[in-house]
Copies of this chain bind each other. A is one copy, B any other.
Amino acid sequence: MPSENGLSRREELLAVATKLFAARGYHGTRMDDVADVVGLNKATVYHYYASKSLILYDIYQRAAQRTLAAVHDDPKLSAREALYQYTVRLLDQIAANPEGAAVYFQEQPYITEWFTEEQVEEVREKETQVYEHVHGLIDRGITSGEFYECDSHVLALGYIGMTLGAYRWLRPSGRRTAKEIAAEFSTALLRGLIRDETVRVESPLGVRTEIGTAGHNSR
């Protein structure tokens, strides 16, 4: 049953809850608030989601799916190309869904209070996949000699903080596009990792780079 703006009622409900959770926190939002804003009675809300925590879990699953969609290691790509592609895909997703990303991160410290053990385990498993992707790419670059030796564990955590943390300020309508920001982040990190001086200066994002960065790639 699509509503006026073409979203199904359930999708509309989810979008409203995501906005409210992002602004007030999960704990600070009641099912009544969601029902009020979406213009449904509470019984109808409970028809779609039997509990508030199931809404949060749906938000979590979708955010995790979007993040995992960014995680795809193509062995044909060099480590630097693969890291750059991951960054582009991830920031694109965050720019398109900043509120979903915000709810994910803001509620993360408390999910054991709201989710079942199985749900928490599923969440953690997906987070591990993201960490292992970035960690694995840095290790691949070290092993092949493409990158300097470094603590790939610490740098993976740092780079994930840098990229996923962009949900705090990255907006679709911002001064710079998600792709431009991805190029800035990747260029800085990869110039720091790449050993080969020519590659480092001329093509830190790999030969398959589709976009240019603002005039500093060719310096």
Contact = CB atoms under 8 A, between A and B. Distances in A.
A172 interface: no
A184 interface: yes
A154 B181 contact: yes
A162 interface: yes
A113 interface: yes
Q: Copy number of this protein in the oligomer?
A: 2
Contacts of A149: 214-216, 219
Given A192-B187, A193-B191, A161 B165 contact: yes
A203 to B, nearest CB: 14
A188 B193 contact: yes
Interface string A118-156: 000000000000000000000000000000111100110
A79 interface: no
A176 interface: yes
A91 to B, nearest CB: 10
Interface residues of A, number: 45
Contacts of A159: 162
A76 interface: no
* Residue from A150, A154, A180 having most chain B Cβ neighbours under 10 A: A154
Contacts of A155: 184-185, 188
A23 to B, nearest CB: 7
Contact of A161 (B24, B27, B161, B180): B161
Contacts of A109: 22-23, 25, 102, 106
15 contacts: A22-B109, A24-B113, A25-B110, A28-B110, A102-B109, A150-B187, A151-B180, A151-B214, A155-B185, A158-B163, A162-B165, A187-B192, A188-B189, A189-B189, A191-B191
